[in-house]
Structure 1
Amino acid sequence: MNTAELKQMANHLRMTAVDMVYKGKDGHPGPALSIADIVATLFFDEMRIDPANPDWEDRDRFILSKGHACPIYYAALSEKGYFGDKIEDFKLRALGSKFQGHPVMNKTKGVDMTSGSLGNGISIAGGMALAGKYRKKDYNVFVIAGDGELQEGVCWEGINSAAGHKLDNLIVFVDKNGWQSGGSVEETIGANNIKERFEAFQWDAQEIDGHDIDAIKAAIAKAKAAKGKPSVIVCDCVKGKGLSFMENDNAWHKGVPTDEQYQQAVKELGGAK
């Protein structure tokens, strides 16, 4: 897909995510919308995956470490064809649904790792990347983590280990939107100097506009060219990106649009999914 098509796809995924939260009457729309441009670029331009063979051992791997943002993940998997026919109602978070409030690998086709307990994604991805090295595979492992999530100590154990093993097949995106469930990252932990911290752990580090498709594509190419060390792409994002009533409003960390807000979303995101 070209840049315009990927941008259109990102908004389509946003609409699908809002639709599933609206119909399911529960979910985390703000964190989902902030990473839509990254997810669209990965799933529809970058990653080597096969929906007809989701367990293909040479596929690229993806972990949504900030698992509560899963509506955008489910939207991408659906659009990519993992579930066959178009899903009209995902039954998000419903009892027995395969689309739970956090991704579950043994329940949902295309999910490489269960996530939701924040902080574990980078360490698990490091294990996947290390396994690829041992088995002489050329797949890459991609992770999306949140800036608030990086307060978990296990993140930094994984970050340190990945550098020590020179895992240049590991690429982490950090959704730096400045918010976490209880408030701003700055108020919670202080300076949000993510790029500098990763550099101190000997990672190849970039910081970009997380809503600029061309910048995302260029950053991935640069990360893949960095040999002998893992890569992080710190993405300056806006929580709730794409909806005027949701952008940068942490009240939408978790929430359900009203009927009127849903119709506004349809209008702002270019129509129903």
Structure 2
Amino acid sequence: MDDKEQYARLFNDIDSQALIILGVTLVSTVLLIIVSQHGLKWLANRLHGQLRFRVFALVPLTRLLILITALVIAVPVVIEPSMRNMVTLLGALGLAIGFALKDYVSSLIAGVVSAVELPYRPGDWVNIEGTYGEVKHVGMRTVEIQTPDDDLVAVPHLKLWDSAIHNANNGGTSLQCVASFYLHPEHEAGRVRKALRDVALTSAYLKFDQPIVVVAEETPWGTHYRIRAYPVDPRQQFLFITDMTVRGKQVLSDLGIKPALLPPGAALESQDVTGR
């Protein structure tokens, strides 16, 4: 009976020897982590080029290896290394890991769905929860987006389940750009509309086989004009918008048309990065 009880027990009796081993393991682990982290960072800061970033990449990996080694030493001291106990421990560990990695698995499944439905593909310009840019790589777990500020953002595929995916060109070369102008209400609207259309029509970035539309909207503080047109290449969108904005301001100034004056505290409607 005593043997069965001893076999069924999960934890060992913690005596002075076990406490010494656990204490030495804990102190050694802390010291090794501190030394390795500072040592690798010190070494990386004295290197240059790609080698510097490779050494920096070893910092979290080294810390993980030290922690795993410490667990391998400490667990047999605390837990009786029997088959039953190992099955119990591995089952609890598997349950914890499964719960912790549920979002990871969800992203992998969403990655399979994205490969079939193609909500984005390399070369698309997308907006996912405020992150706008060009899709550079579609992996199994994430989609990599390069923003206009040259940041590379990894967005998990699980955003497919509950977020709107805004795709500006959807696998094609046509991407609509919008340049906005806010004018004083006292002006000849037809003249302004024609002038703004000519601004887009004379741009070096214009894609001529797509329509040019000038949209006007009357507001309490003035008139809001939008030039909707398409650049030759989606990557030229910001150059195209800047070109239309700069030359449009000059044309309107030459026509003697004043910009709108917003009352204190007034705010323009929010727009996305493409000016829509």
TM range, smaller chain? under 0.3
Larger helix share, 1 or 2: 2
Structure having greater relative contact order (Cα 8 Å, sep ≥ 6): 1
TM-score in terms of structure 1 length: 0.19
TM-score in terms of structure 2 length: 0.19
